[in-house]
Amino acid sequence: MRTSTDHDHGHVHDNGHVHDNGHGHDSGPVPEGPAGRRLISGYTRRLTRRRTVLAVVATALAGVVVLPASPVSAHASLETSVPAPSSVLEEAPPAVVLDFDEPIEAGLSSIQLYDADQRLVEIGGPERVTGDDSIVTAELPDLADGVYAVVWRVASADGHIVDGAFGFIVGTGDPGGGGTDSLVDQVSDGAAADDTVRRAADVSRFVLFLGLVLLIGSGIWSLLIPTELLTGIRRRLPVIGWVLSLVGTLAGFGLYGAIAVAGGLGDAFSPEVWGRVDGTQTGRMALARVALLLVLGVLLRTRRASDSMWWRQVAVAAAIGVLVTLPAAGHPSAASPRALYVLLDAVHLLAIVVWMGGLALFALGNRAWLDTEPVARTVRTFSRSATVLVPIIVVTGAIQAYELAGGIDTLTDTAWGRTLLVKLSLVSVVVAIGAVSRWLLQYVSAGSIRRTVVAEAVFGTLVLAFTASLVTLPPVATLEAKVFNTTITEAGLIADVTVTPGRVGANEMHLVLTPAGGSIQPVTSVQARMSLPEREVPKTPVTIVADGPNHYTGSIALAFSGDWTLELIIEVTPGNTLLLTTTVPIP
């Protein structure tokens, strides 16, 4: 029977000899008696410990696979609403209904209604429709005729806060819709949090990422260096990382709540806001991360037991759990299949943390320290590991970028894509400097790489900063929308037309007709059709239904942007038909 440890720790064979692999281990025959048995027992325990750690890693990562799949896209967007934006209604609807293209967090939903004087109208609290977690509704009181604005804010499936506002009219006031635009502009500022809060949230994410690099990454490599050689700040790096990780998580939790309620920095310290956040996926993952960080904090206090198998098992499981909480509440959690992309991002993060953690540790050492044999041996192990970690980072990152962005041709169309390209450029610089470090390590000495490692660590910190900003940006370009309003006059007939939301995809059309002389006599019939000549899209009928005398609502899906031609065929009286035409620009 043959038992062997990994490559870096020599081999124990059945002939009773320990062979050196060039990493500083003594070779020679195993002593007879108790001393020999203790030596072999020590190697066996190390082998068992490593196998156990690998099993814990595999189990923790495999646990992600059982997360329920959720076929959604990143960032929710409003598909339809009742009332529709810029619609003119004869009677007020009983409730505001918002229908999004993916599930939303009901606990952080907010719907507010303002009247023409910008006064807040008391309405019912937002509630999710039973059986459909992408729809939220709020009951309305009896509304008098006039102009109103709806200001809404929800948390999408990937934890990002999405907000917006639109107006509508009850009765005959301002049928052209100008009043809704003005009112929406005046009240929509309340839909978003202060810029100070958003900037503080970006800083908290950077602090969290930096903390994880120092806690987990530097902590892993420091375990390979004898304790007596870890002095000063190098010894305290994992502790510093633990503090930064905990502070970044707690600050991010509060600031996420402040953003969700469109508040200020003070709302980040509000227990009421915390209570709304802790029921969301983002909140639950943040609290789980705090719990796991507390476990790691206890392990740091008992670091003298780091050679124990139980210590390493718990440390590995807790560290991987901390990393998994990030993609489980971010962009990957909104991709499909969810489990696959959460797992990919967890592996991506683990590779980054281990790689950059090593850079941080060795960048703080002087030349003499790096040339010390145990440290030099660890540096060489790190260099070999980097040749595996970097390809893992590139491959897992490329797969996620392709999935989240829907391809590579649209990367420059979004702030997310452009930020990603800058991040990739910085990573390329780090890799190039790393190649110089490996050459120096091979042909000069471990101490000769100090300057290049410092440069790698500096550029690596910039990579972390861009990564922190990527988290908040939507990977897919948000569809532009521009509500279309116009008034068409023909032979004394006045037609007020509204197309909303005025973007590629599903749209609603609202039509209010006023016959010649202001007659209230209903017209005989109405037909509508739209075409896009520049793309040779033929005339497509718009489904029209009557909502009341001379008030019609229609729906149509517009597949392309461009200048669409809208034609209205209106039979005013039997035998008297008018053709009204206008151009509807879709951005």
- pLDDT digit string (tens) for 495-512? 888 887 787 777 888 888
Q: Are residues 289 and 406 in the same domain?
A: yes
Q: How confident is the model at residue 68 (pLDDT cuts 50, 70, 90)?
A: very low
Helix (H) or strand (E) holding 80: strand 78-82
Q: How confident is the model at residue 173 (pLDDT cuts 50, 70, 90)?
A: low
Q: Does residue 241 lie within any of the structural domains? A: yes
CA distance 475 to 415: 8
Residue matched to tokens 């062997």? 4
Question: Which of 121-135, 166-180, 307-321 has the least mean pLDDT?
Answer: 166-180
Q: Does residue 475 lie within any of the structural domains? A: no
Predicted pLDDT of residue 385? 94
CA distance 192 to 189: 6
Last residue of a domain, one of 425, 440, 470: 470
Q: Which among 70, 100, 76, 77 has a CA at the least distance from the CA of 159?
A: 76
Mean pLDDT, rounded, for 372-386: 94
Is a pLDDT exceeding 60 seen at residue 54?
Answer: no
Where would I find the H helices in 302-414? 309-324, 338-363, 367-371, 373-405
Query: Considering its fold, how many domains does the chain have in total?
Result: 4
Q: Are residues 35 and 94 in the same domain?
A: no
**CATH code for position 546:** 2.60.40.1930
Q: Which among 542, 514, 518 has a CA at the least distance from the CA of 530?
A: 542
Is a pLDDT exceeding 60 seen at residue 51?
Answer: no
Size (the chain), residues: 587
Mean pLDDT, rounded, for 205-220: 95
Q: Are residues 455 and 499 in the same domain?
A: no
Q: Are residues 567 and 530 in the same domain?
A: yes
Is a pLDDT exceeding 90 seen at residue 82?
Answer: no
Q: Are residues 273 and 335 in the same domain?
A: yes
Q: Are residues 14 and 31 in the same domain?
A: yes
Q: How confident is the model at residue 480 (pLDDT cuts 50, 70, 90)?
A: low
CA distance 290 to 292: 5
Is a pLDDT exceeding 70 seen at residue 66?
Answer: no
Name the percent of the chain lying above pLDDT 90: 33
Q: Are residues 464 and 330 in the same domain?
A: yes
Is a pLDDT exceeding 90 seen at residue 399?
Answer: no
Name the percent of the chain lying above pLDDT 70: 83
List pLDDT tens digits, range 406-445. 667 667 777 778 888 888 899 899 999 999 999 999 999 9
Is a pLDDT exceeding 80 seen at residue 170?
Answer: yes
Last residue of a domain, one of 192, 225, 258: 192
Question: Which of 77-81, 220-224, 344-348 has the least mean pLDDT?
Answer: 77-81
Q: Are residues 532 and 398 in the same domain?
A: no
Q: Does residue 432 lie within any of the structural domains? A: yes
Predicted pLDDT of residue 190? 62
Q: Are residues 115 and 55 in the same domain?
A: no
Q: Are residues 355 and 416 in the same domain?
A: yes
Q: Are residues 539 and 586 in the same domain?
A: yes
Coil, strand or helix at 584: strand
Question: Cβ neighbours of residue 435 under 8 Å, at least 6 residues apart?
Answer: none
Q: What share of the chain is helix, strand, coil (3-state, %, to 5)?
A: 50, 25, 25
Is a pLDDT exceeding 60 seen at residue 35?
Answer: no
Mean of the per-residue pLDDT values for the chain?
80
Last residue of a domain, one of 192, 211, 245: 192
Mean pLDDT, rounded, for 547-556: 82
List pLDDT tens digits, range 221-280. 999 999 899 988 999 999 999 999 999 999 999 999 998 888 888 999 999 989 888 888
Range(s) of the domain holding residue 258: 194-470
Q: Does residue 502 lie within any of the structural domains? A: yes
Q: Are residues 207 and 80 in the same domain?
A: no
Q: Does residue 222 lie within any of the structural domains? A: yes
The vertex-211 CA angle with 210 and 217, nearest 5°, equals 85
